[in-house]
Chains A and B, each alone.
Chain A
Amino acid sequence: MLEIRDLHAAVDGTPILKGITLTVNAGEVHAVMGPNGSGKSTLAQVLAGHPAYEITSGEILYKGENLVEMEAEERAQQGVFLAFQYPVEIPGVSNAYFLRAAYNAKLKAAGKEEVDPMEFLDLVEEKLKLVDMDPAMLHRSVNAGFSGGEKKRNEILQMAVLDPTLAILDETDSGLDIDALRIVAGGVNALKRPDNAAIVVTHYQRLLNYIVPDQVHVLAGGRIVKSGGKELALELEARGYDWLLEAVA
């Protein structure tokens, strides 16, 4: 589904990703871990198509197509979804409207009929239960004045509505208490299917008690310095990152 080959990316001329190679197959969950500043969010943003990051070399294939060539909105319409580490507040645009605009954009790209507000409401109400969100949140502006946990849940709600093929969750667990973490993880697990995949970026092993990864990758200094099975996460939890960083230094 996703093939990243020797990916190098820079921001304002400063190289940040320095040769990432990663393959994610349908049905898999990959965890990307690593210390602060190692490039996890950069990788996530690059996959989502943020224009600030320049791909200096390497390639990204998504369902066999060159992802780098696609605009962010096109990627989303093709099923790529990024749950932001820092979800953006959009005062003045209601959650309900935003969700429907996103949902319809995807339908339209697939050549399907758009849904009207009433139909859409039925669909959303079901998804709201998945993340245990108050329907009143639909009528508030997107993320505006939401607590940290509400913002993260809202990301998962968007994900649930858009039903992505490739979901990338960037530290969706950070700052969540254990109940919120369970809800978020439950949402992710409920959406898991043989024909989709997820990349779960996290700083802590804790989330991986709830979302069990097929593979764990450790990112440091813009490179994947170690990959392994789910037990690697436990080892990182016990030993920290330093031993790995020393090994590659």
Chain B
Amino acid sequence: MSTTLSAPALLEQANHAAAADVPAVLRAARAEGAEQFAALGLPTTKNEDWHYTSVSSLAAIPFAPMTGDDSDLSPDALAEHRLDASWPTLVFVNGVYQPSLSDTSALPAGIRVLPLGDAVSALGDTVSRLLGSTAPASRDGFTALNASFLGEGAVVHVAKEMVIDTPVHLLYVTTDAGANGMHHPRVLMLAERHAKATVVESWVGLTEQPYFTNAVAEVVVEDGATLTHLKVQREGRGAFHVATIEATQGRDSHYVSFCFTTGGALSRSTISTLLNGAGCGTTLNGLTMLDGAQHGDVQTRIEHAQPQCFSREIYKSILDEHSHGVFNGKVYVHPIAQQTDGKQTNNTLLLSKTAQVDAKPQLEIFADDVKCTHGATVGQIDQTALFYMKSRGVDADTARQLLTYAFAADVLETIENETVRDALELVTLHRFTSLATVTG
């Protein structure tokens, strides 16, 4: 059965899907999600946070829940997106976890990585603690919708004081078999105190067909822990991608996020963190690269709720052809959050006259002893630099490509994991240039 997302029949569908084989904890969450979705619906552009992103085209398509059909998945295509085949990896194909393609045998002691379905029993406490904690169904229509279809996703639990060097990879692949399908993965991540780990979430579309990803991640970073969360969005050109990441942080913790956006017809990533312990900090960086008629929206929200916390944010966009980029960087500083140290930078490079950007920093500061800066630029290729390169014999095309790549390079350099950094550098290089390499 498929139906458009705005129709009340969806409720029915969600309730129906909440059949007997679904664990009670998920069933309850689904019921609440469906109820909230009925009340909230999908946002409209009248909603201030959705002013520049209309989801009416998404609401018009009757998506059916994806079934996990992996019959047309090419092993080579999958292999290419594994980043490093030795990493513990959960693979989801067309919305459904694939045990045969996944491997977590290399996981060291102290970290558990399970598909959500298995985690309900094996990591029951973590699931009940995190589910709906940072992203309750009442948050907005998309979160409610995700809750109403709860079932797929993953739980990453890092035990206290465990320092895990090898990244965990959650890889979501959609193929032609997933056309007109939707999936609503939920990821729960818990880094207990003084733990350290890296989680990479990759979204890959091997189809040009429309489909709908509606992901929610709930992240808890306890006192002294460091969690690095890298999101790589390379959905197909017909895809709708909505991702909501809600983190909360304890004292002296560090949440490091990188949001790489290059796919999808329409994408929206919301990354939000609550700095809820003194001395903690967050680093939210990202790169968006769009062309054609792509629309890519990134919303970040950093909430300084305790004193002496820091936030560092660099977001860059490269927009070509008729694409439309949106960036909204909110920083909210509570009255008690004295000695907040915040810095936000947002730069957009427009490669065509028809590309469009709506970018705004949004600083709401209610403490008096704070240092918060923000800077935003929107510009074209630097003509001075272009001439300088040409004056050295580099042809205009190559020079333009080099400058485009260079614009992106400094934010990519902030990715600490070399494998991910190298991979994204290559994706970036190939996105707007015909250069084979820019090293050496």
Contact = CB atoms under 8 A, between A and B. Distances in A.
A230 B336 CA distance: 71
B440 A100 contact: yes
A49 B399 CA distance: 16
A32 interface: no
B412 to A, nearest CB: 9
B402 A72 contact: no
B398 interface: yes
B426 interface: no
Contact of A106 (B393, B398, B438): B393
Contacts of A141: 406
Nearest to B412: A92
A198 interface: no
Nearest to A92: B406
B332 interface: no
A132 interface: no
A117 B387 CA distance: 24
Nearest to A82: B391
A166 B68 CA distance: 66
10 contacts: A73-B395, A92-B405, A92-B410, A96-B440, A97-B438, A97-B440, A105-B395, A117-B439, A121-B440, A141-B406
Interface residues of A, number: 36
A33 B394 CA distance: 30
Contacts of A102: 389, 392-394
Interface string B358-400: 0000000000000000000000000011011111111110110
B40 interface: no
A77 interface: yes
A51 B406 contact: no
A247 B76 CA distance: 80
B407 interface: yes
B86 to A, nearest CB: 29
A200 interface: no
A9 to B, nearest CB: 16
A77 B393 CA distance: 5
B409 interface: yes
A76 interface: yes
A84 B407 contact: no
Contacts of B396: 71, 73
A88 interface: yes
A48 interface: yes
B390 A73 contact: yes
Contacts, number: 92
Given A50-B387, A91-B406, A162 B392 contact: yes
Nearest 5 Cβ contacts at the A-B interface? A92-B406, A117-B440, A76-B393, A102-B392, A88-B388
A48 B399 CA distance: 16
B439 A101 contact: no
A93 to B, nearest CB: 5
Interface of B: 384-385, 387-396, 398-399, 402-403, 405-410, 438-440
A93 B398 CA distance: 12
A77 to B, nearest CB: 5
Nearest to A161: B392
Contact of B392 (A71, A94, A120, A158): A158
B305 to A, nearest CB: 35
Contacts of A100: 440
Contact of B390 (A49, A89, A93, A97): A49
Which of B393, B394, B405 lies at the interface centre, i.e. has the most chain A CB atoms within 10 A of its CB? B393
A63 to B, nearest CB: 16
Interface of A: 48-51, 71-73, 75-77, 81-82, 84, 87-94, 96-98, 100-102, 105-106, 109, 117, 120-121, 141, 158, 162
B405 to A, nearest CB: 7
A73 B406 contact: no
B405 A72 contact: no
Given A92-B409, A94-B439, A105 B394 contact: yes
Contact of B391 (A48, A96, A101, A109): A48
Contacts of A51: 387
Contacts of B388: 84, 87-88, 90
B407 A76 contact: no
A106 B395 CA distance: 10
B119 to A, nearest CB: 42
A48 B44 CA distance: 54
A90 B389 contact: yes
Nearest to A103: B393
A76 B390 contact: yes
Contacts of B402: 93, 97-98, 101
Given A88-B384, A88-B385, A93 B395 contact: no
Contact of B389 (A91, A98, A109): A98
Given A97-B402, A158-B392, 14 more contacts: A72-B390, A73-B393, A81-B392, A84-B391, A87-B388, A91-B410, A92-B406, A93-B409, A96-B440, A100-B440, A101-B402, A102-B394, A105-B394, A162-B393
